Structure 1
Amino acid sequence: MRLRIFTEPQQGASYETLLSVAKATEDLGFDAFFRSDHYTKMGNVSGLPGPTDSWVTLGALARETSRIRLGTLVTAGTFRYPGPLAISVAQVDQMSGGRVDFGIGTGWFEEEHVQYGIPFPSLKERFERLEEQIRIVTGLWGTPDGETFSFAGEHYTLKDSPALPKPAQAGGPPVILGGLGPKRTPRLAAAYADEYNVPFHQVEDTGGAFDRVRAACRDAGRTKPIVYSAAQVVCCGRDEAELARRADAIGRGVDELRQNGLAGTPAEVVEKIGRFGELGAERIYLQVLDLSDLDHLELLASEVLAKV
């Protein structure tokens, strides 16, 4: 089982804060540093100093780290045209020496679209656009040097693109798709994903989602392996007092976190990670909400990472 640190900077984090967490992620032995792709806060927090762009951030972190993988969970398909997005991600992959994983989704938080003047079409159209975006981005990355790429879809058209620059990873970064949708999501995952992620659902629901993707892979005749993963909020304490302090710092209750996330003593967290592992999960994304608490990362590294 590989553990990845997953951050939500829209809730309030400067680049310097993210850099400190990324460096701790690398130094402590975690597999990857991921961040969300949002432009406004959620809930009753200040959000100060304001949003940071995911791919600008990851480009900078690519030059400040050397081992950990870097990525988004997940890039909002509504935010960027697929051609420029392919360029940005390929450039960050080059800057990192081939350490990028590319998570992409439909986009879902309407409020940030309204606040920053970004179109927010229907869910049906967002799924249609997402599939075209994946085909375009991966098509651009996979076009042989010296050849051009063209695409004619309902929402996007490219003609004779030079398909440059190329990522450092041959064929492009691994593609992560996620969600709990019963039909469209499994089909897209079976067709395009290198990794399928279930975010913030309990063990039983996660297992059902994994099974739907497995069935979609069988129906599609897919033989290429797919990585299964889950994302869970994490709140760990050596004792109940430390656990309660960390839960209070992120505005959550201990009982609720125990039910809906990875919360408790290190032994409890290890046990629940094991339950996801029994379902076939190979990676767990630990959603760390208090980015000032680097001692939390140290505890997770010494008492959880070392035992999974």
Structure 2
Amino acid sequence: MRLSIGVTDFSWPDKPTEELTAVAVAAEDAGLDTVWVADHLLQADPHSTADSPMLEAYTTLGFLAGRTARIGLGTMVSAVTFRPPALLVKAVTTLDVLSGGRARFGIGAGHHDGEARAMGLPFPPAGERLARVEETVRLALRMWAGDESPFEGEHYRLERLIGSPRPVRRPPILIGGAGERRTLRLVARYADACNVFDIPDGGRTVRDKLAVLARHCEEAGRPYADIEKTISTRLAPGEPAESFARRCEEFAGWGIDHAVVITAGPWPVAGVETLGRAAALVG
């Protein structure tokens, strides 16, 4: 079971740059897998408010790349409507090159229509957004493979897919969302990882979603085991490492490989250290 932190709240009251750096370094020192950051222009965490500080995701990840050496870096997840696809792929590629191969490519259809209206972002219907996710992932795979031939999709048309420099290694692709008809089918066809939510029903929903994913993998002729199953969950304030480790063991019983952990408010270093102890207990 791998453990990562998800940074969704940047409202440290004092010296936020130093606090963010300390959290990322603590995560690396604790042996955690990845620092994921939310990709929003407005604060979207339900425990915060829309006018709370929110940093742009790829600038933040580039900053953290210069202050860490090993830990993975990615977005959980980038809405496909935020950036033109070539710009998004270039941002992920640049992060991978400058971090020495540590980028993870998290992408999804997006969900925050209020943010889109407030910030002047496009927000087409869900079906179109999912179609754009598929085209963007196809573009990324071709650019990272060095295929410069024209791309003709329903929504994107590129004359030449120039991807220079190439990434150090192809960034793993995580497609966010658990829609059973389209999103999980996209995961089965293209992704290296999926992401489900920790819903308090004893794992019934998670197991059901993973069973659907397994069926889509069978239809696509792809081994289900090839896809990393991640779950987004919270570390409760004051929760001890032993308690969280027991939860991780339960997640593993549901078929989960990797827990991405957020917390209410900005991460404290002590909370990250708790996760490190939990990771050591889980193994």
Task: Settle same-fold status: TM greater than 0.5.
Answer: yes
The answer to whether the 8 Å contact 2:92/2:104 transfers is no
Amino acid at match of 2:229: Y
Aligned to 2:177: 179
> How much has 1:29 moved relative to structure 2?
1.8
Query: d(CA) in 2 for partners of 1:268 and 1:300?
Result: 11
1:199-238 to structure 2, matched below 5 A, reads: 199-202=197-200, 203-223=203-223, 225-235=226-236, 237=238
Percent of pairs identical after alignment? 33
1:5-154 to structure 2, matched below 5 A, reads: 5-9=5-9, 12=11, 14-42=16-44, 43=46, 45-46=48-49, 50-143=53-146, 148-154=148-154
Aligned-residue CA RMSD in angstroms?
Answer: 1.9
Amino acid at match of 1:104: I
> How much has 1:266 moved relative to structure 2?
3.1
Task: In structure 2, list runs of 5 or more residues that go unmatched.
Answer: none
Query: d(CA) in 1 for partners of 2:161 and 2:189?
Result: 24
Aligned to 1:244: none
The answer to whether the 8 Å contact 1:78/1:118 transfers is yes
> How much has 1:4 moved relative to structure 2?
0.4
Q: Does 1:165 align with 2:159?
A: no
Amino acid at match of 2:231: A
Query: d(CA) in 1 for partners of 2:82 and 2:275?
Result: 33
From 249, 256, 273, give the equivalent of 1:281: 256
From 245, 255, 279, give the equivalent of 1:305: 279
Query: d(CA) in 1 for partners of 2:159 and 2:214?
Result: 35
> How much has 1:221 moved relative to structure 2?
0.7
The answer to whether the 8 Å contact 2:151/2:161 transfers is no
The answer to whether the 8 Å contact 2:235/2:261 transfers is yes
> How much has 1:143 moved relative to structure 2?
1.6
> How much has 1:289 moved relative to structure 2?
3.0
Number of residue equivalences: 275
The answer to whether the 8 Å contact 1:12/1:47 transfers is no
Query: d(CA) in 2 for partners of 1:281 and 1:130?
Result: 24
> How much has 1:288 moved relative to structure 2?
2.6
Query: d(CA) in 2 for partners of 1:162 and 1:293?
Result: 41
The answer to whether the 8 Å contact 1:12/1:48 transfers is no
Task: In structure 1, list runs of 5 or more residues that go unmatched.
Answer: 238-263
1:252-271 to structure 2, matched below 5 A, reads: 264-271=239-246
The answer to whether the 8 Å contact 1:177/1:189 transfers is yes
> How much has 1:82 moved relative to structure 2?
0.6
Query: d(CA) in 1 for partners of 2:161 and 2:280?
Result: 47
Q: 1:39 to 1:73 in 2, by over 3 A?
A: same
> How much has 1:157 moved relative to structure 2?
0.2
Segment of structure 1 superposing worse, 118-127 or 20-29: 20-29
Larger relative CO (CA 8 A, sep 6+): 1 or 2?
A: 2
Q: 1:44 to 1:3 in 2, by over 3 A?
A: closer
The answer to whether the 8 Å contact 1:104/1:177 transfers is yes
> How much has 1:23 moved relative to structure 2?
1.0
Query: d(CA) in 2 for partners of 1:25 and 1:115?
Result: 33
> How much has 1:6 moved relative to structure 2?
0.8
SS at match of 2:257: strand
The answer to whether the 8 Å contact 2:11/2:265 transfers is no
> How much has 1:125 moved relative to structure 2?
0.9
SS at match of 2:43: coil
Q: 1:24 to 1:112 in 2, by over 3 A?
A: same
